[in-house]
Structure 1
């Protein structure tokens, strides 16, 4: 993989963000854009255990997708205070994924606001993501191909990004939003996955209080270097092609995939995994 460092800026005006990143659809890490948020001073694992400790949260690990698991079905559940105690104690693969803090802990709404990036943010969907040391998300893109603003808290996280033009090199699984789950993007095996050598993307690290802008439909792999958590705010895709793809994903693709899982079981998953290899290698003339 050929990865450029994601642009870093200390802060940025709305006009410059729109000109240099939103319009050209280029990622950027902004270091001090939300320094005035109470969250920057308050949000850490201890604080989250205090304000949300009694809530039972869904947990996900890095096991491969199974035919008998529903869309975003949790792998385990735990009280938030127990989960955070686990994060502090030892590395764990368990992550919290798409946790709506607006719904679950309304008091946290006082700790942040919706920043003005020159694009309308969807205010009903602030989502939190937690992870333990060295846990990671599979390379994927979001079903709605949204513009995503990812605010990181507590510790450090590594991100690897690709835009949709790199699909031919990533071993994308048909009828899904992910690539082959057995690819280690932290240490890719180019003998097994030769097409990855042609993939051009971005790499960067997020620290406490920094925000990452991910343009529409960007593939993202995220690895927690230390235990921590992030919040995502999103804005609807503005490119008509991406918006059309988002509608297709939500209205047709995911339902078709779920139907085929019910009809064919694990055979459907295995067939898609194999096609990811054959289609990628056929396009590139790899044998």
Structure 2
């Protein structure tokens, strides 16, 4: 089954092989659970069982009657066993030593993410052509805008601040995020500055390794790591309880053809939700999406630049390339310039205009997306995204 999964592009794997891999993973896990219970195996054995089940979710989506439900149930039970093993070991740890490490008043305590965000907030690009902002627009207003002939992007404010992810269960709290996702859960991670690089690759790793090795330490010999465009919420439903699908995603949208980049827009049957989580410096090269997009910013801040579909020729899209057909060849070089009057560094996005001369005349809009903001990106608008701090965003395609 594993061999067959790798014999096809991910989206083209026949259902029969996905089903076989899922069922084989379930049988293997049940056998390992039986052996572990009989022999009182250590934590590592139980962690391996979680990995086996997670691989089925990530690699196949767990098709079949109640297969996903069975996997979620088994993972929950195994994680509780791992937790009990860890708690038993903690009894042997000196209680005083533990208390000393946490001798900080709760009111003054800041999460790792919050501290890092404050430290990193200094290098914010100056905004020349800002996006407009609307505070909690009505569904009627939003629907009317989306269905205009050439809808434009804008920022929605005061729409998601009530989400638990931004309030009672803050994802900016690293301890909470690790606890909910489960340290041993396997996630797909992109390694490399941008997916257009030859050295770019993907790797499966557990969530704790991703956070400890890559998010906390963005300067890494292996490059930058990014948990990008992954349906983390289908894999870990508990995390989905901290967000809500915006009502704006359910408005009636018209099908239409965008002549400037030859795209036919057809709404998806369901809202497509993806997570974007990584350290400072992650980059999504300028590209387009096949659907309307609401990008909700939960943790940290991002710089985003957008170009109208009418500017398509000026952004030099890759041609005759099925994988990169929606991606621009123009790469922004990050240059830190010292603004003496302001006495601080400002990051400037500087493209290679000798190689892409038409790009100099391309009109654009831009913004700094902050926690609690939600950016509407119309279908086929080109957009470039760079995280200025540790960042967690959620995209809703509709």
Structure-1-length-normalised TM-score: 0.71
Aligned match of 2:211: 84
In 2, Cα distance between the equivalents of 1:124 and 1:54? 28
RMSD: 2.6
1:105 to 230, 236, 239: 236
2:380 to 208, 217, 220: 217
Aligned match of 2:164: 38
Structure with the larger RCO, 1 or 2 (CA within 8 Å, 6+ apart) = 1
Aligned match of 2:318: 173
Tell me how far 1:228 sits from its aligned partner: 0.8
8 Å Cα contact 1:122-1:234 kept in structure 2:
no
Report 1:1-287 matches (<5 A): 4-20=129-145, 22-23=147-148, 24-41=150-167, 42-44=170-172, 46=174, 47-52=176-181, 53-60=183-190, 61-62=192-193, 65=196, 74-85=201-212, 86-91=214-219, 93-117=224-248, 119=251, 123=270, 125-142=272-289, 145-175=290-320, 176-180=325-329, 182-184=331-333, 186-235=349-398
Tell me how far 1:65 sits from its aligned partner: 4.0
Show CA shifts across 1:123-150 (max 9, x none). 46210011211221111112xx200000
Q: Which runs of 5+ in 1 are unaligned?
A: 236-287
In 2, Cα distance between the equivalents of 1:3 and 1:122? 38
8 Å Cα contact 1:158-1:206 kept in structure 2:
yes
**Matched positions, count:** 228
8 Å Cα contact 1:22-1:215 kept in structure 2:
no
8 Å Cα contact 1:102-1:124 kept in structure 2:
no
Against the structure 1 CA distance between its residues 124 and 164, is the aligned structure 2 distance closer, same or farther, given a 3 Å change threshold?
A: closer
Tell me how far 1:212 sits from its aligned partner: 0.5
Against the structure 1 CA distance between its residues 139 and 3, is the aligned structure 2 distance closer, same or farther, given a 3 Å change threshold?
A: farther
Tell me how far 1:104 sits from its aligned partner: 0.9
Q: Which runs of 5+ in 2 are unaligned?
A: 1-126, 253-267, 335-348
Structure-2-length-normalised TM-score: 0.52
Show CA shifts across 1:246-280 (max 9, x none). xxxxxxxxxxxxxxxxxxxxxxxxxxxxxxxxxxx
Against the structure 1 CA distance between its residues 49 and 123, is the aligned structure 2 distance closer, same or farther, given a 3 Å change threshold?
A: farther
The structure with more radius of gyration: 2
